[in-house]
Structure 1
Amino acid sequence: MSAIQLDKGSISLPTMSHHYVGYADVVREMEDVDNDLDDESRGRDFSGSDSDLDEYDYMNKRNQEISAAQVRSGRDIQGIPWGSLGIMRKRYRKTRLEQYRNYENKPQSGEGLEKECKITKKGSSYYEFRHNSTSVKSTILHFQLRNLVWPTSKHDVYFMSQSSIMHWSSLTCKKSEVLNVSGHVAPSENYPGSLLEGFTQTQVSTLAVKDNLLVAGGNQGEIICKYLDRPGICYCTRLTDHDNAITNAVEIYTSSSGAIHFIASNNDCGVRDFDMETFTSKHIYFPWPVNHTSLCPNAKFLIIVGDDPDGMLVDSSSGKIIAHLRGHMDYSFASAWHPDGVTFATGNQDKTCRIWDTRYLSKSITALKGNLGAIRSIRYTSDGRFMAMAEAADFVHVFDVKSEYEKEQEIDFFGEISGMSFSPDTESLFIGVWDRTYSSLLEYGRSRDYSYVDTII
């Protein structure tokens, strides 16, 4: 992962139609369309409205929650008033696709890969738009890391917003603060190895929530653990004192003995498996910074991807490399196992997601192409029926696994993606959108024969 000093305000994150250029900066190129959108967000263009009251009413309406019924009646899912902007959505999408420049560590890494990628049939509707929570602002603190949205049920989501970890309930449409890391945080429980002095002004880089445990990783190697049914923080530690210590990803799992563990992937080239019962960890080191790690369902194998085009399949106990995963052309930032434990997926800055089979690891069995940018998040439903891959911005693709990834639903919006995940029961898909004006939490529900019930929700 690119080593970037993330002092508050030091990085200008991309907003509507802005894109990555350069090695360590995000540069905004203000196009005419963007000026129109910015004018709209500042209340300067309201289709002839000339009163402060009209402007207030308009902005107030834009900030309201957006329901499925409103969208069926013609409202944009993000509340973007295309009619008053003087540009059609279709034309703006075309401009966005032409002008967005994907961030690459390997120049032109995505060129020429189309011939390797599966031609898919688009137009399916596996998940239907349910709700857009415009009051939810899920913040990206590092542009290459997009794991900041975690549902624990079809109604409850945890996400990172500015300097706080928040909870959102789609039942009540209310959010509440779970943990504020802007000041000093310290553990209220005393366990071996815990830093009782805690941390100050932690910049959260990654987040994971499972069952009742929340684990947040920081840009200086911090780990903060909190049980959601207890007040305070239960455990704090610093995984590394390396100069480049960013915690890139965290995964929580239950071991065969029933103990709760988490695996942390760090920029110091280390992967650490931490036991929350004994408060001990084991380390495995690799030749390059590790951006993401996924443990297979039977806990025998790890997918390791990072600052190298090749990934690795590793024995989780010994750290022995079982196979090198060759095919990607740039650095990878996402991985996920299918629940069958046989196949898995990796996502790369070359704009592809590759599907692998543990029985035939000489090459990937399928390659899937994104539209706009790097594949920075991948999730399977718990029943294995669907796989979703999120690009850096604008697109989430939901594939029917039973069709061998041939059929897909393309979810299309505008803004950077801070995170994406299915609920454990597969009934909901949540997408965090970061944008200067249109940040929100998009909620989709699994399409069922009884979807007509949505009309009364």
Structure 2
Amino acid sequence: MAQFNNGDLDYVVGDYYDASDFEEDDPLADNEPQLNNDVEALDSDFEDDFEMSMSQTDTTALEARNGKDIQGIPWERLNFTRDKYRQTRLKEYRNYESLSHSREELEKECLDVQKGKNYYDFQFNTRLVKSTIVHFQLRNLIWATSKHDVYLMQNYSVMHWSSLLRRGKEVLNVASPIVTTLKRPTLLSQPISRVQISTMAVKENLMVAGGFHGELICKYLNHPGVAFCSKVTADENAITNAVDIYRSQYGLLRVMTANNDAQVRVFDAEKFACVGQFTFDWSVNSISVSPDGKLLAVLGDSAECLMVDANSGKITGSLKGHLDHSFASAWHPNGQILATGNQDKTCRLWDIRNLSRSMAVLKGRIGAIRALKFTSDGLFLAMAEPADFIHIFDAQSGYIQRQEIDLFGEIAGISFSPDSEALFVGVADRTYGSLLEFNRRHYTQYLESIF
């Protein structure tokens, strides 16, 4: 991944364009990716929004139906319309690319997809909690454990948001020194502090976070304190790019990390001992384990993606077709289809029974594909760009029908609830940073015949 000098924690600028830059005199600023976070955003005309009450800053489904912007952006007070701003943004947004390439042949491969579908309806948006990111290429910082419970990164805190109570609570603070509370003789943990969390995962009552300097933090949600914390590598370019929590093919709970030192490490989730370490030829940016625990998708600073035996680390296949570095992957729950996201602005779908070529290519609107998630029932695939757009594809249609969620701001992560009923989107923005909730729409043949 790109080198990134990260001094004090702040919002990154990278692919970043701050939605708070809604200046009446200069509505669009330059948003070329930069590999530092020392650039100050323009002051917003609407900083006073922070002083408003919750009822004014948050947006409900009813308010949205009555015309309020779902993010609370006051378009009526601006000298330009939302549509005009969108068109200018589409023209001027510049996607970050690590490799130079032509898109002419790539465009021919992409599916002709029909948009305008509506699979998930807007439900609620809150600015009481807001996502933050520390590296412009890493956007896996939102995790839902139920349709009412979401975990997200906010500065130096891991926050829990209850959509039922509409209340946020800090569950982990990583600014102060962190010491392991789990006392075991074989536990090789070490105190760490002021961790800048770059990636996280929350599954099976376990929260795992990776840090900017190779840190790994593991916490059981139903226990106080931290079960394990340490630096997994002393390499100076050691950022933890991805973490995963999964069941091995033998049913054992495992934690996997991917770092910029080109290493993938596997930890036992009970004793937190390292039980496997795999080395690759390039920095590993994304890992995901198949539902049966047998296969591992490895993506990174290469146009090539790898299929790996999750137990031995042996490379079993190669996926070729992307033109740039990859940062996202997701398995269909049937274990036969893998989705990979790339900085060439596409997601490729692969049938693991035939890896000679991708089965479909899905394209984004303005930027790299930085997050991918399937619903647990396998009916939908959500694809997030670095900013502004989330696409929800209908798998049953062969991915040729989609819903487009159109917003403004950097996307810190996306997550479906385990029952597929809710979709949560984290928006990282100085003023309009928030957590958006969408609820699944259920159709019947009778209603469809009427409408």
TM-score norm. by structure 2 comes to 0.91
Read off the aligned partner of 2:276 and give its amino acid letter: K
1:314-353 map, 5 Å = 314-353=308-347
Read off the aligned partner of 1:198 and give its amino acid letter: P
Is 326-335 or 279-288 further displaced after alignment? 279-288
Read off the aligned partner of 1:246 and give its amino acid letter: I
**Is 2:386 aligned against 1:375?**
no
Residue 86 of structure 2 aligns with which residue?
Answer: 93
**Is 2:418 aligned against 1:424?**
yes
Q: Unaligned 5+ residue runs, structure 1?
A: 44-54, 451-457
Q: RMSD of the alignment, in Å?
A: 2.1
**Is 2:143 aligned against 1:132?**
no
The structural deviation recorded for 1:362 is: 1.1
* Distance in 2 (alpha carbons) for counterparts of 1:276 and 1:186: 18
Residue 22 of structure 2 aligns with which residue?
Answer: none
* Distance in 2 (alpha carbons) for counterparts of 1:209 and 1:111: 39
> Could you say if the C-alpha distance between residues 83 and 259 of structure 1 is closer, same or farther in structure 2, counting changes exceeding 3 Å?
same
Aligned pair partner of 1:191 in 178, 184, 188:
184
* Distance in 2 (alpha carbons) for counterparts of 1:216 and 1:109: 36
* Distance in 1 (alpha carbons) for counterparts of 2:331 and 2:7: 34
Q: Unaligned 5+ residue runs, structure 2?
A: 20-27, 445-451
**Is 2:156 aligned against 1:151?**
no
Residue 303 of structure 2 aligns with which residue?
Answer: 309
Residue 415 of structure 1 aligns with which residue?
Answer: 409
> Could you say if the C-alpha distance between residues 282 and 196 of structure 1 is closer, same or farther in structure 2, counting changes exceeding 3 Å?
closer
Residues 185-225 of structure 1 deviation map (CA, whole Å, 9 limit, x = unaligned):
11111235545541011111111101210011111111111
Whether contact under 8 Å (1:266, 1:291) holds in the other structure is yes
Residue 35 of structure 2 aligns with which residue?
Answer: 24
Residues 148-191 of structure 1 deviation map (CA, whole Å, 9 limit, x = unaligned):
00000001000000000010000111000000001111111123
Aligned pair partner of 2:247 in 254, 259, 264:
254
Residue 290 of structure 1 aligns with which residue?
Answer: 284
* Distance in 1 (alpha carbons) for counterparts of 2:342 and 2:241: 15
* Distance in 2 (alpha carbons) for counterparts of 1:367 and 1:432: 25
Q: How many residues align?
A: 432
Read off the aligned partner of 2:45 and give its amino acid letter: E
The structural deviation recorded for 1:257 is: 3.9
Whether contact under 8 Å (1:18, 1:29) holds in the other structure is no
Residue 6 of structure 2 aligns with which residue?
Answer: 6
* Distance in 2 (alpha carbons) for counterparts of 1:332 and 1:109: 17
Aligned pair partner of 1:234 in 191, 204, 227:
227
Read off the aligned partner of 1:73 and give its amino acid letter: N
Whether contact under 8 Å (2:207, 2:218) holds in the other structure is yes
> Could you say if the C-alpha distance between residues 99 and 29 of structure 1 is closer, same or farther in structure 2, counting changes exceeding 3 Å?
farther
Read off the aligned partner of 1:158 and give its amino acid letter: Y
> Could you say if the C-alpha distance between residues 410 and 22 of structure 1 is closer, same or farther in structure 2, counting changes exceeding 3 Å?
closer
> Could you say if the C-alpha distance between residues 27 and 187 of structure 1 is closer, same or farther in structure 2, counting changes exceeding 3 Å?
closer
* Distance in 2 (alpha carbons) for counterparts of 1:9 and 1:233: 22
Residue 80 of structure 1 aligns with which residue?
Answer: 73
* Distance in 2 (alpha carbons) for counterparts of 1:56 and 1:228: 31
Residue 214 of structure 1 aligns with which residue?
Answer: 207
* Distance in 2 (alpha carbons) for counterparts of 1:136 and 1:61: 11
* Distance in 2 (alpha carbons) for counterparts of 1:406 and 1:193: 52
**Is 2:142 aligned against 1:142?**
no
Whether contact under 8 Å (1:293, 1:302) holds in the other structure is yes
Whether contact under 8 Å (1:18, 1:28) holds in the other structure is no
1:157-168 map, 5 Å = 157-168=150-161
Residues 336-371 of structure 1 deviation map (CA, whole Å, 9 limit, x = unaligned):
110111111000011000000112211111000100
Identity %: 50
* Distance in 2 (alpha carbons) for counterparts of 1:415 and 1:20: 12
TM-score norm. by structure 1 comes to 0.90
Read off the aligned partner of 1:69 and give its amino acid letter: L
